[in-house]
């Protein structure tokens, strides 16, 4: 691929108005070193401040030296560079997934400190193709096969992937043409990792015409299909859904006549919005939930409770998931609610705390039925307590000069249907 095409690929991800400042994640490998060089050229042309960051996971010998080498190269370019350390892995779970999550979190904190809202990362067409193969192995649907998106928001930062249409071979050619060195991670040859197996499988599929560029095109087409499904889901939500006391309420009859995939997507979005989980529940768990609701039964998934009440389906926070949570007034409770005295009333006493209404609160709140909430929904609503005594329950009609509001607002449920 000619250098001009690489330059266009990077510029196309940011133009016509590049941010005033951009971060770039640089591991020292070939993909990220090429991205650093291309981003440096873009930043010079558009008077954008560029900052580089390397996360050292302390997982293998040589990682520290590679991080320092990136710093030396950045210094030669005049690009500020920071090394972040991650050494928190407890040896449990999936190492690569833990390292990835920690890397994004640490870089987001770094960017926020610098006032940077956008970070470029070096995923390529090969990464895209490997991800498609891995998700095929998991029987993924449209969302899974859309694979790595060119732009996402995570931890409050916009992550941009300008090289998704570019192969590793293209970038290695670019590095050699410009005399830029890079390091090779030994784990790239370790077939204990699923991604490396996918990489090896991709090489074997070339004779069938299945290559990185082709699978990247498939992923892009799946993203277009996902966008169409998201739009239809959004339109359906506007017709049949509303938010009540932090729960998503769906008109059962109107939901039932929607195509199966639209029903599924609506329920997945409701579960994610209520729970705050970063990742959706497994498809089998959602299928079980849908079957239960059709049979008129209740079900729990990912800390959420769903049940049918008359003509509506309520998706709300499971009481068991929040019954031990405590916070101070004004401090977010369950990551969603902020409970404060109504403006004009005195500051709350220091001996008060916020917790779920629960069975104990219901017993102290005779008027709870007047709010029109199903009993299980009322249980998980936030209330104000002094030790074991209920002071206020704003969402069930016992406000007592207190107010409970969703931090992000009800419209975020609908907006999230379109925010991939």
Residue pLDDT, tens place only, 15-62: 888 999 999 999 999 999 999 999 999 999 999 999 999 998 766 677
In terms of C-beta density within 10 A (0-12 exposed, 13-18 middle, 19 or more buried), how is residue 76 classed? exposed
Domain residue ranges of the chain, discontinuous segments joined by +: 3-219, 245-317, 322-408
Least confident of 88-92, 135-139, 167-171, 337-341: 88-92
pTM above 0.85, yes or no: no
Return all residues near 224 (Cβ < 8 A) that are at least 6 apart.
none
Residue pLDDT, tens place only, 183-200: 876 666 666 677 778 888
Closest CA to 318 of 328, 306, 329, 304: 304
| pLDDT of amino acid 2 | 76
Closest CA to 150 of 175, 117, 118: 118
Q: Give the rounded percent of residues in the chain with a pLDDT score beyond 90.
A: 71
Give 271's pLDDT tier (boundaries 50, 70, 90): very high
Cα of first residue to Cα of last residue in the chain, in angstroms, is 29
pLDDT(14) > 80: yes
Residue pLDDT, tens place only, 227-249: 999 999 999 999 999 999 999 99
Q: Could you give the CA distance from residue 4 to residue 176 in angstroms, rounded to a whole number?
A: 15
Mean pLDDT, all residues of the chain: 90
Give 273's pLDDT tier (boundaries 50, 70, 90): very high
| pLDDT of amino acid 418 | 84
**98 or 217: which leads in pLDDT:** 217
| pLDDT of amino acid 94 | 58
DSSP 346: P
| pLDDT of amino acid 196 | 78
Give 181's pLDDT tier (boundaries 50, 70, 90): very high
**259 or 279: which leads in pLDDT:** 259
Query: 3-219: CATH homologous superfamily?
Result: HUPs (3.40.50.620)
Give 137's pLDDT tier (boundaries 50, 70, 90): confident
Least confident of 52-61, 219-228, 251-260: 52-61
pLDDT(388) > 80: yes
């Amino acid at each position: 691929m000619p250098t001009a095409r690489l330059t266009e690929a990077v510029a196309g991800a940011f133009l016509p108005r590049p941010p005033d400042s951009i971060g770039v994640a640089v591991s020292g490998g070939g993909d990220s070193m090429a991205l650093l060089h291309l981003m440096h050229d873009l930043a010079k042309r558009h008077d954008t401040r560029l900052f580089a960051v390397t996360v050292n996971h302390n997982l293998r010998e040589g990682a520290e030296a590679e991080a320092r080498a990136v710093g030396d190269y950045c210094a030669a370019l005049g690009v500020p560079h920071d090394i972040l350390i991650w050494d928190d892995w407890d040896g449990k779970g999936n190492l690569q997934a833990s390292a990835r999550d920690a890397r994004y979190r640490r870089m987001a904190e770094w960017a926020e400190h610098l006032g940077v809202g956008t970070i470029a990362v070096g995923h390529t067409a090969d990464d895209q193709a490997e991800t498609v193969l891995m998700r095929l192995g998991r029987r993924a649907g449209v969302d899974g096969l859309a694979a790595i998106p060119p732009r996402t928001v995570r931890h409050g930062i916009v992550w941009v992937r300008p090289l998704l249409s570019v192969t590793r071979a293209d970038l290695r050619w670019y590095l050699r043409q410009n005399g830029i060195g890079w390091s090779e991670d030994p784990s790239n040859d370790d077939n204990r990792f699923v991604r490396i197996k996918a990489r090896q499988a991709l090489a074997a599929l070339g004779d069938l015409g299945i290559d990185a560029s082709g699978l990247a095109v498939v992923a892009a087409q799946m993203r277009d299909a996902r966008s169409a499904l998201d739009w239809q889901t959004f339109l359906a939500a506007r017709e049949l859904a509303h938010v009540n006391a932090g729960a998503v309420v769906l008109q059962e009859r109107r939901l039932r006549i929607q195509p199966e995939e639209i029903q599924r997507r609506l329920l997945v979005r409701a579960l994610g919005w209520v729970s705050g989980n970063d990742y959706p529940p497994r498809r089998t768990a959602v299928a079980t939930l849908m079957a239960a609701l059709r049979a008129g039964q209740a079900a729990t998934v990912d800390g959420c409770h769903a049940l049918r009440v008359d003509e509506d389906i309520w998706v709300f926070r499971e009481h068991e998931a929040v019954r031990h949570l405590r916070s101070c007034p004004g401090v977010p409770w369950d990551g969603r609610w902020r409970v404060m005295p109504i403006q004009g009333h005195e500051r709350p006493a220091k001996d008060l705390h916020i917790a779920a209404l629960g069975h104990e609160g219901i017993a102290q709140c005779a008027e709870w039925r007047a709010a029109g909430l199903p009993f299980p929904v009322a249980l998980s609503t936030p209330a104000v307590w002094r030790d074991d005594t209920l002071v206020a329950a704003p969402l069930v009609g016992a406000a007592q000069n207190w107010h409970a509001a969703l931090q992000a607002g009800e419209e975020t449920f609908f907006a999230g249907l379109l925010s991939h």
